[in-house]
Structure 1
């Protein structure tokens, strides 16, 4: 199972199609602290994919720490617009790996999604 946290509802179908190709469930949430995220079991989640556009830079480390504590086995992946270098840097500093631009994610989504389905 992969968790996608984004407010960009136009981008969800792209990731859902890639997840379907890989045969993995994609759970979407508008925010990391939503009831949907809180209700997920810690086991079975292989990746948390965070859209940096919806997370303030100042709170990013806290979000990553909370998700790491809740889903210790999951990869923490972040993506955002290439022009938001401060957000991308903050995600790297907070421990997200990989950190991708939206273009990189879109261009390589099938390969990335296949990688994220593997248990780390």
Structure 2
């Protein structure tokens, strides 16, 4: 995917260590980055990815699909979590999150995700 200079990644996570890795990857590709516990206020038309960390933010699963549809409809919504958290991964799929993957899968795709 070729990023416009104004494209943004929103990561909903409380994991500052992994969040910094995602931030580095996004910024290296020229993307803006936001890390927080919920979608940021304001215009979200520039958001291309909403990434949900199921280990620290699984509480947003019930509402995030509708929020993204309303506020950043062009964003790719991804949730990831530990492979041992089977119920959280299942709940995310059942909530309608289009791409639910394990931490390992997310980590493997991170190096080229924003290219």
**Common fold by TM > 0.5:** yes
The structure with the largest strand share of the pair is 2
Out of 13, 26, 36, which is 2:33 matched to? 26
Unaligned ranges ≥5, structure 2: 1-7
8 Å contact kept, 2:29–2:114: yes
Task: Give the Å deviation of 1:73.
Answer: 1.3
RMSD over aligned CA atoms reads: 1.8
CA offset digits 1:56-76 (Å, max 9, x no partner): 46x622232223222111111
Aligned counterparts of 2:52 and 2:83: Cα–Cα separation in 1: 15
Aligned counterparts of 1:100 and 1:112: Cα–Cα separation in 2: 14
Aligned counterparts of 1:113 and 1:81: Cα–Cα separation in 2: 22
* Aligned length, in residue pairs: 108
Aligned counterparts of 1:94 and 1:111: Cα–Cα separation in 2: 27
The structure with the largest helix share of the pair is 1
Is residue 2:45 matched to residue 1:43?
yes
Aligned counterparts of 2:27 and 2:15: Cα–Cα separation in 1: 19
Unaligned ranges ≥5, structure 1: 115-120
Moved more, 48-57 or 72-81: 48-57
Mapping for residues 1-120 of structure 1, pairs under 5 Å: 1-29=8-36, 31-32=37-38, 37-39=40-42, 41-56=43-58, 60-114=61-115
